Structure 1
């Protein structure tokens, strides 16, 4: 398994725009393995919540997708996390960020599912630094990711889900949403994080 990208491309795009969209990011074998893993664990997907830990709640007026957090139970999950570890190291070397880990889950959107406008992190209140989305299947209709210009209602970019496309953007900077889905949509959503805890205690993973 290997990265299929122009060296430094995603780093340059992040530095210039705050986001990067890279097609065919990984070897096709990994993409296929991940989608097969999704199909295997389909019964274990759960309704996605808002918030973390004790503040987690289900609010279907905000989001209706289903998720499965990576637990290392398949080789596909392990290979993907290894690939993202390489990216984490590159981000730290390039931006001197001190990112200490990466958390992720499968996301499944079925007909009519959506996720309204939101930030993945609020300034000074979250340890999420970069949001990532890796699309596992190509969607012909619906389910677009819309990223908005910072502090604006104007659209920065609209991304049609396409198998093998990797998206990364600054979590605090960009409000975004997933438009209502018509075709089934599978992806891996994840976050590179800093440790913002105190007294040496590591922040909870989710």
Structure 2
């Protein structure tokens, strides 16, 4: 089976950049989510597609990014002791951003077909951790209190070294004080995990660190209004 079969992604791509170069990471992702609820896959997307996303985030001026906070909508607040990254939500206002969102929509459909997760939509933002920035240990969704089901992080950093910090730390679902592993934010690396199950953190970055953080969600519509995004 070719990679286009599960994703049918290339017809969406306005820039004519091949999105997927190999099928193995996708099937590894499926197996990981089924067996342990989290997955780390290198080179999930093609080199050209990853590079285009990297170019996009690196060209965002700090003035057009927001200080990230904790909580959503009316509960949102800036807590510098908890996190110090800057973000910009991804809207389909540029070709590469539209391509990314359409690609993740194709991934949503593929995951639903194979894992029956009932994923309804996807939201994401670019994230910038400047030197000294971090995100303390947290969970993306509390059980029964959020519509976020799967968290995704795509890393967009060239030549990341062991001493550069900024690693993603994932903790055991049953023993939240026990580390599963530490993963460097290497270019093209994709992390996916169940939002309600895994505490995680970003350790202090020693140089500027970029990523795309996103969430696949279920439909939490109440009174005609979708459970709040962003």
With the shorter chain as reference, the TM-score category is over 0.9
Deviations 1:83-134, CA, capped at 9 Å, x for gaps: 1111101111112121110000001001110000000000000000000000
Once the two structures are superposed, the pairs formed by residues 74-153 of structure 1 within 5 Å of their partners are 74-138=94-158, 139-140=160-161, 141-152=164-175, 153=177
CA deviation after TM superposition for structure 1 residue 199, in Å:
3.4
SS of the aligned residue for 2:51 comes to helix
Deviations 1:159-205, CA, capped at 9 Å, x for gaps: 11100111100000000000000011100000000012223432222
Question: What is the root-mean-square deviation in Å for CA atoms of aligned residues?
Answer: 1.2
SS of the aligned residue for 1:83 comes to helix
Partners of 1:30 and 1:79 within 8 A in 2: no
TM-score, normalising length: structure 2: 0.86
SS of the aligned residue for 1:116 comes to strand
SS of the aligned residue for 1:31 comes to helix
My pick for the range that moved more, 73-82 or 168-177, is 73-82
Asked if 1:189 corresponds to 2:213, the answer is yes
Q: Aligned equivalents of 2:131 and 2:95: distance in 1?
A: 29
Partners of 1:142 and 1:180 within 8 A in 2: yes
- Structure 1 counterpart of 2:19: 2
* Unpaired stretches in structure 2, ≥5 consecutive residues: 1-17
Partners of 1:146 and 1:176 within 8 A in 2: yes
Q: Aligned equivalents of 2:23 and 2:202: distance in 1?
A: 25
- Structure 1 counterpart of 2:55: 36
CA deviation after TM superposition for structure 1 residue 40, in Å:
2.5
Q: Aligned equivalents of 1:113 and 1:151: distance in 2?
A: 28
Once the two structures are superposed, the pairs formed by residues 147-186 of structure 1 within 5 Å of their partners are 147-152=170-175, 153-186=177-210
- Structure 2 counterpart of 1:63: 83
SS of the aligned residue for 1:191 comes to strand
Partners of 2:72 and 2:229 within 8 A in 1: no
Q: Aligned equivalents of 1:183 and 1:156: distance in 2?
A: 24
